[in-house]
Amino acid sequence: MIVEVKGVRKTYDSGVEALRDVDLSFPKGQLSTLLGPSGCGKTTLLKIIAGLIPKNGGEVLVNGKAVHGPGPERAFVFQDFALLPWADVLRNVGFGLELRGVERKERDEVARKYIAEVGLKGFEHRYPAQLSGGMRQRVGLARALTVDADIILMDEPFSSVDEQTRRKFQEDLLDLLRHHQKTVIFVTHSIEEAAYLSDQIALLSPRPGRVSKIVRPAVDRSKSPDEIRRDRGYLDTVDEIWGILRQYV
């Protein structure tokens, strides 16, 4: 277990109770999904794990140690990309390293490597405004990879990416993350996306968010992406999750 969430509670200043006593474990090297209806507290939970917003109770443990703020072992991929509009792709991807004081030459080198890995070679000197949504999110992903964090936190990274690009991106993402053996916590509200990507799916109930069930899709990952999408285990998982979530809608 690399990340553990114990009894985490969150009530916003506005009085909205977003999370109530959430207990969850995220196994090392696996991709875990937080899945639930819109507004159930998925982003809130992810940002608490990232140390970006304070919690009202409970603990977040990373490798057994309680964390209270952001740390170098966790990197975040944002739903709205959060790219610096005045910086080109190269500088955006290397921004995490820049903040850590890594020399220009060294960080550019590392950034170039990950730009190539996410499939953006040749776009180093473009600005975010010149890129499509899918490409911008690839920049966001590359930035998270360059800082060499073990844990990648992703908040609905594909929600502003169009459908065709999304599939390809999902496949690339699986390859990349498996290759780098990252522990991934992934937020989505798409059942298919969760079933396709995840080793473990935590279903959250509507507000206040609680864990209502943990599903482990029995999907054979050695198959090709198209085979997986026709796989029994994949389809059963989608059905099972839908059976649980339908009572919330």
Partner 1 sequence: MRMLLSLVVWFALWEIVGQMKFSSIVPPFSAVIEAGIEILPTEKFAKAAIISLRSFGLGMALALAIGIPLGVAMARVKGVGRLLGMWVNIFVSAPISALVPILMAVIGIGETTVVVTVFLFAVFVITLDTQVGITHADRSLVEMARSFGATRRQLYSKVLLLSALPEILAGVRLGAIRGVKGVVIGQLLVAIIGVGELFETYSNNFLMEEFWALVLIVFLFAFAVSEAIAYLERRVEYYAAAR
Q: Is 29 left (phi over 0), alpha (psi -120 to 50) or beta?
A: left
Q: How many Å apart are CA 21 and CA 57, to the nearest integer?
A: 8
103 near partner 1 (CB under 8 A): no
75 close to 151: Cβ distance less than 8 angstroms: yes
Which is closer to ligand ADP, CB of 42 or CB of 112?
Answer: 42
138 near partner 1 (CB under 8 A): no
Q: Count CB-CB contacts under 10 A for residue 86.
A: 10
Sequence letter at residue 148:
D
22 near ligand ADP (CB under 6 A): no
- As measured in angstroms, the least distance from the Cβ of 183 to partner 1 is 16
- As measured in angstroms, the least distance from the Cβ of 1 to ligand ADP is 23
- As measured in angstroms, the least distance from the Cβ of 109 to Mg ion is 34
215 near partner 1 (CB under 8 A): no
Q: Helix 163-180 crosses helix 133-146 at what angle (to 10 degrees)?
A: 10
Q: How many Å apart are CA 25 and CA 165, to the nearest integer?
A: 31
68 close to 51: Cβ distance less than 8 angstroms: yes
Q: Which of residues 40-59 bind Mg ion (CB under 5 A)?
A: 43
- As measured in angstroms, the least distance from the Cβ of 64 to ligand ADP is 26
| Residue 44: burial class (beta carbons within 10 Å; 0-12, 13-18, 19+) | buried
With CB under 6 A as the contact rule, the residue among 41, 94, 128, 157 that binds ligand ADP is 41
184 near partner 1 (CB under 8 A): no
Alpha-carbon torsion (201, 204, 205, 210), positive or negative? positive
Q: Which of residues 33-52 bind partner 1 (CB under 8 A)?
A: 47, 50-52
Q: Which of residues 189-228 bind ligand ADP (CB under 6 A)?
A: 207
Q: Are strands 200-204 and 31-35 parallel, antiparallel or unpaired?
A: parallel
With CB under 8 A as the contact rule, the residue among 42, 74, 112, 138 that binds partner 1 is 74
Q: How many Å apart are CA 172 and CA 104, to the nearest integer?
A: 28
- As measured in angstroms, the least distance from the Cβ of 159 to ligand ADP is 10
With CB under 8 A as the contact rule, the residue among 70, 103, 125, 175 that binds partner 1 is 70
- Contacts with partner 1 by CB under 8 A lie at 47, 50-52, 70-72, 74-76, 78, 80, 82-86, 95-96, 98-100, 127-129, 143, 147
- Contacts with ligand ADP by CB under 6 A lie at 12, 14, 16, 18, 36, 38-44, 207
